[in-house]
Every structure is written in C-alpha cells, then in structure tokens.
C-alpha cells in the first residue's frame, strides 16, 4: 500500500514554491507554477501535481527550461495577443497573456492568445477554468513531444495534445469543463505507472510494432494509443495546428521530451481563445447552458465532464490532499541539498 501524508493546499503551494526557487527558478516564475500545482492536487490529478516538481527542478538545473526567463508580450493585431515564453515555464507566459487576453475578449467579444517557445503547461483545464471564472468561454490547446503514431503507422509524429473548453456558470464555477488528451490516457499517467512499477491497462499504449502492451516502459518506447482510433489522431492533428503551427512553436515531431534531461528546451506552444458569450448569444447563453446541463443531470448515473474534479476540489479545500510520501521525500531532498550548498 502506498504511504501518504495529508497536506493542506497552502502547504502544497509553499513546498512547490520553495523547491522551485531552490532549484534556480525566479520567484516570479515559481509562484504561478506553485499555485497551479496546488490546484492540480486539489482536483485529484496527482500525475500533474507534486509528482512533477522534482522533474521541473531537474529541468531547470539541466537547462531544459529557463527558470529565470522573462516572457515577452506583444499585440500584433486587435484581438490577438502573442507571448514568447523564452524557453521558460508556460505558467508565467500564460499569466502574462491572460492579463491582456481577458480584457480584450470582454471589449471585442473574442480574442486569441498564442504562446511560443514554451514548456509543459500542466493541466490545460486549469487555465481554461480561469477563463470561465472571468465569465468567458475558454478554449485551450497545447502540443507535446511526439508520442502518437498516425493511423496505419508505427512512428510517433504528434503528441498526446490535449484540448480543453470551459463554459462559465452562475456560481463562479464552470458550468461545464472538458479537458482531454488525444490519447486514451495522458502520457504522464503511463510515466507515473512506470515510476511506481505498476502495469498499465490494455488500451493505454502500444509497443514499437503497434501492438497493445501492459508494460509502461515498453509503451513509453512505443506510442500512446489514440482515443477512438483515427478520430483521436484527428484531434491530435487539430491541436498541433492550433498550438504549434499557429503559434510558430516547435512541432511535437521535433520537440525534445518533457521527461529526462536530453534535448534542450522543447519550445512547444499553447493557444487560447476567449469568447464573451454576451456578444454572441443575444443573451441566451446562460439559458442554453442550463438546459444542456440539466438534460444530463436528470439522468440517473450520468455526470458532466469536470464534475469529478469539482467534487475533489471542494473536499480538498476542507480536508487537504493525501500526497505520496515518496514524492514528498524527493522534494524535501531537493530543499535539503539546496540548504547544504
């Protein structure tokens, strides 16, 4: 049985922040990533939470990500915001971009944010969630290093490439939040199983010959299984266009891995579209969303995308989060080494 310790969200944020700074990240870059890490743990997405902090620290120290980067913003056209992440953390670049994107969308009805030369943005739905909290419909796309082979092929050319959409609700929480990768499961989940020495279910990954495997290490050397077969490949290609081609970022085909220390900065991208529903729906957006949500909620056993994360989030704010003790030991080791240096 895996040993755990219960931490409050404030403790998770503080631990993440201190570890990132100890590894050489500026406080300005560490804070938004630490806040996102706590929110991710609250949502129950442990594979993208504290488990990633040792990886982030390692990547700062080896130069895969520039912990001291200063993202640069420009507005080349009305309604278009562009941020060069300068090979730094995506979270700082996204924060900078949202500061301009949100008011632009409110003023014009719609606006887009393109981020280039970036890095792993963690849970994409965390970012679209924030757009929904601002009263906007938020769409997000992020590409990743190649791990999915095309239909009929065996060599990965596109990443797991998540997309997300969040629609605002009346209570400050999204009425609906979809956050899904183009693969059957996020690659980070396979990596987590590999670290823990656990087999993966059939259907998560394929070996180098395109055959199903339950060995996470074999799957990581092969390819991730696309969700829905060729339709999942189509979603991955859509995201690649939005997050890489449209932003001028590195294609997943050429990006260095988000794991390990080889290859330098991945320089991947993110793309967000923010829409003010008041400008497009003639005042009927809330009614339409309420009808749609109700049609699902009245069905016994049915649930909306995002419901699971919401219930865990509310519980976490009251009770804290059970965190893997081995993960905490790694992070505490980073802090101890920094204090001895």
Residue 341 pLDDT greater than 80, yes or no: no
Q: What is the mean pLDDT of residues 61-83?
A: 97
Same domain, 282 and 310: no
Per the structure, the complete domain to which residue 58 belongs is given by 1-62+306-341
Confidence of residue 272 (pLDDT cuts 50, 70, 90): very high
Report the pLDDT value the prediction gives residue 1, as an integer from 0 to 100. 62
Q: pLDDT tens digit string along 129-181?
A: 999 999 999 999 999 999 998 888 878 999 999 999 999 998 888 999 999 99
List CB contacts of 171: < 8 A, sequence separation 6 or more.
none
Q: What is the mean pLDDT of residues 312-330?
A: 93
Same domain, 151 and 29: no
pTM: 0.93
Contact 134, 113 (CB under 8 A): no
Residue 237 pLDDT greater than 70, yes or no: yes
Same domain, 162 and 271: yes
Q: pLDDT tens digit string along 77-105?
A: 999 999 999 999 999 999 999 999 999 99
Same domain, 149 and 164: yes
Same domain, 81 and 137: yes
Question: Starting at the edge strand that comes first in sequence, how are the strands of the sheet with 205-206 ordered?
Answer: 212-213, 205-206, 223-224
The reply to whether 314 falls in a domain is yes
Same domain, 150 and 261: yes
CATH number, domain at 321?
Answer: 1.10.1530.10
Q: pLDDT tens digit string along 193-214?
A: 998 899 999 989 988 888 889 9
Q: What is the mean pLDDT of residues 271-284?
A: 97
Token couple for 152: 């009929």
Same domain, 164 and 130: yes
Within 10 angstroms of residue 6's Cβ, the number of other Cβ atoms is 10
Same domain, 147 and 13: no
Catalytic residue set? 47-48, 189
Task: Count structural domains, the chain.
Answer: 2
Same domain, 29 and 128: no
Of the candidates 168, 222, 230, which has an alpha carbon nearest to the alpha carbon of residue 200? 222
**What is the phi/psi pair of residue 126, to 5°?**
-60, -40
């Amino acid at each position: 049985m895996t040993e755990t310790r219960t931490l409050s969200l404030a403790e998770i944020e503080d631990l993440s922040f201190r570890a990132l700074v100890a590894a050489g990240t500026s406080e300005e870059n560490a804070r938004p990533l630490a806040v996102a890490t706590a929110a991710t743990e609250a949502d129950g997405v442990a594979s993208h939470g504290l488990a990633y902090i040792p990886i982030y620290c390692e990547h700062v120290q080896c130069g895969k990500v520039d912990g001291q980067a200063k993202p640069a913003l420009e507005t080349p056209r009305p309604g278009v915001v562009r941020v060069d992440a300068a090979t730094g953390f995506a979270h700082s670049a996204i924060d900078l971009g949202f500061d301009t994107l949100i008011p632009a969308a409110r003023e014009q009805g719609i606006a887009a944010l393109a981020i280039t030369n970036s890095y792993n943005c963690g849970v994409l739905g965390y970012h679209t969630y924030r757009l929904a909290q601002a009263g906007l419909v938020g769409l997000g796309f992020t590409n990743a290093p190649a791990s999915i082979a095309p239909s009929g092929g065996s060599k990965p050319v596109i990443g797991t490439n998540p997309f997300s959409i969040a629609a605002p609700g009346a209570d400050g929480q999204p009425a609906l939040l979809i956050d899904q990768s183009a693969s059957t499961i996020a690659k980070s989940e396979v990596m987590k199983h590999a670290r823990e020495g656990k087999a993966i279910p059939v259907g998560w990954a394929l070996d180098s010959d395109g055959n199903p495997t339950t060995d996470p290490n074999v799957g990581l050397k092969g390819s991730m299984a696309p969700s829905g077969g060729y339709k999942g490949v189509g979603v991955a290609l859509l995201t690649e266009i939005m997050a890489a081609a449209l932003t001028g970022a590195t294609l997943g085909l050429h990006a260095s891995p988000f794991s390990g220390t080889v290859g330098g900065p991945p320089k991947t991208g993110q793309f967000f579209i923010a829409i003010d529903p008041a400008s497009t729906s003639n005042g009927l957006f809330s009614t339409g969303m309420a009808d749609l949500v109700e049609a699902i909620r009245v069905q016994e056993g049915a649930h909306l995308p995002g419901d699971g994360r919401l219930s865990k989030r509310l519980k976490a704010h009251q009770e804290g989060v059970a965190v893997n003790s081995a993960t905490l030991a790694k992070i505490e080791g980073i802090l101890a080494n920094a204090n001895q240096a």
